[in-house]
Amino acid sequence: MTFKEKYTITPAYLTAPSKRRSGLLLSPGVKFIVAHDTGNPGSTARGNRTYYENSRNEMSASAHLFVDDKEILECIPALTGNKPEKAWHVLYGLPTDNQLFGYNANDAAIGVEYCFGNNINADESYRKYIWVIAKICFTYGLDPAKSIVGHCFLDPKRKTDPVSGLLQSRRTYEQLLRDIVTEYIECTGTVNEQYVYTSSPGSSIVQHRLNIRKGSPTTKAEVAEIVSPGTSVTYTGYVSNGEPVNGNPKWFKNESGNYFWSGGIA
């Protein structure tokens, strides 16, 4: 089995040894993944990496990867190094990581940070984010349906990530988990997803700014066109099992074979 290499992962390792990068190896290896967001809207992958490097001898908090709409930067070896190293991305002494996976996150998990904000293309950042998490699952033989946990579930009294970052683009944590599985399936070719299409031509008026997605009823698909409120859009039919957005999985298909979510029209 192979994995589709959609994006480039750029090594930009922090200096070792330092407080942020000890150089110690994950032991007993990679057992799960912790999904984070930066908690700092507008901060980029490159900007976070620079901050971590400049403060490497002042603070210990760290992460393996930062993802934004432009790049995937690996600060601590996880996918591009010889062997994965430890990062300090979850407090020691919390019980949930041990209860769920049998290990402390810093000893056995890769931490992936999602960058978000008004200056970042949320769709592209999200596509890279779910892809790299799916790739980690593939690389280390993890089940994508069972091996990811949000930082907020491990440290609920202090942390809200990645839920807070995902909300910036009206996405949910539950959607993230589903999309990682879908991405894994797509990139490994294990299953071809089939959408249920119903022919039902018509037209409607756009209520909110509407993204027309290329060839797939999902927010992961590339935007083909952005339609302004008040515009009339036509469609040839709909699928009833597209990606649920706010719990609604119905998407309309236009004559070009592209899709738009039904919640954006009236």
Q: How many CA within 13 A on the CB side of residue 116? A: 22
Are residue 183 and residue 206 in the same domain, yes or no? no
Q: 133, 164, 188: which is the final residue of a domain?
A: 188
Q: Mean of the per-residue pLDDT values for the chain?
A: 94
Q: Is residue 2 part of a domain?
A: no
DSSP string of 225-262, one letter each residue: EEE-TT-EEEEEEEESSS--BTTB--EEE-TTS-EEEG
The residue range of the domain holding 122 is 9-188
**Last residue of a domain, which of 188, 222, 254?**
188
Q: How many CB atoms lie within 10 A of CB 217?
A: 25
Q: Which residues are CB-neighbours of 121 under 8 A, at least 6 positions away?
A: 69
Residue with tokens 């997803």: 193
Tell me what percent of the residues of the chain surpass a pLDDT of 90: 85
Q: Confirm if 203 and 246 have CB atoms less than 8 A apart.
A: no
Could you give the CA distance from residue 63 to residue 229 in angstroms, rounded to a whole number? 40
Phi/psi at 202 (nearest 5 deg)? 180, -170
Considering the domain architecture, whether residues 230 and 130 belong to the same structural domain is answered as: no
Residues 158 and 212 in one domain: no
The alpha carbon of 32 is separated from its chain's Cα centroid by a whole number of angstroms, namely 15
Is residue 1 in a domain?
no
* Residue 110 located in a structural domain: yes
Q: Buried b vs exposed e over 150-165: b needs ≥16 C-beta within 10 Å?
A: bbbebbeeebebbbbb
Query: Of 157, 188, 219, which one is at a domain's C-terminal end?
Result: 188
Closest CA to 88 of 108, 116, 68, 60: 60
Domain total of the chain: 2
Confidence bin at 153 (pLDDT 50/70/90): very high
Residue 48 lies in a domain: yes
Looking at the structure, tell me whether residues 180 and 236 fall in a common domain: no
Q: Are 260 and 156 in a shared domain?
A: no
Find tokens 């959408």 and name the residue.
Answer: 195
CATH number of the domain where residue 120 is located: 3.40.80.10
C-alpha–C-alpha distance, residues 71 and 239, integer Å: 33
83-96: per-residue pLDDT in tens?
999 999 999 999 99
Q: Which of 89, 90, 45, 49 is nearest to 71 (CA)?
A: 45
Instruction: Give residue 264's Cα distance to chain centre.
Output: 23
3-state SS class at 106: helix
Please check whether residue 229 lies inside any domain of the structure: yes
Q: Using CA atoms, how far apart are residues 253 and 239, in angstroms rounded to an integer?
A: 8
Residues 217 and 112 in one domain: no
Residue 105 lies in a domain: yes
d(CA 83, CA 76): 10
Least confident range of 50-54, 106-110, 219-223: 219-223
In a domain, 4, yes or no: no
Residues 169 and 256 in one domain: no
pLDDT digits (tens, 9 = 90+) for 159-216: 999 999 999 999 999 999 989 988 998 899 764 457 888 999 999 999 999 999 988 8
Q: Which of 46, 94, 103 is nearest to 74 (CA)?
A: 46
209: CATH: 2.30.30.40
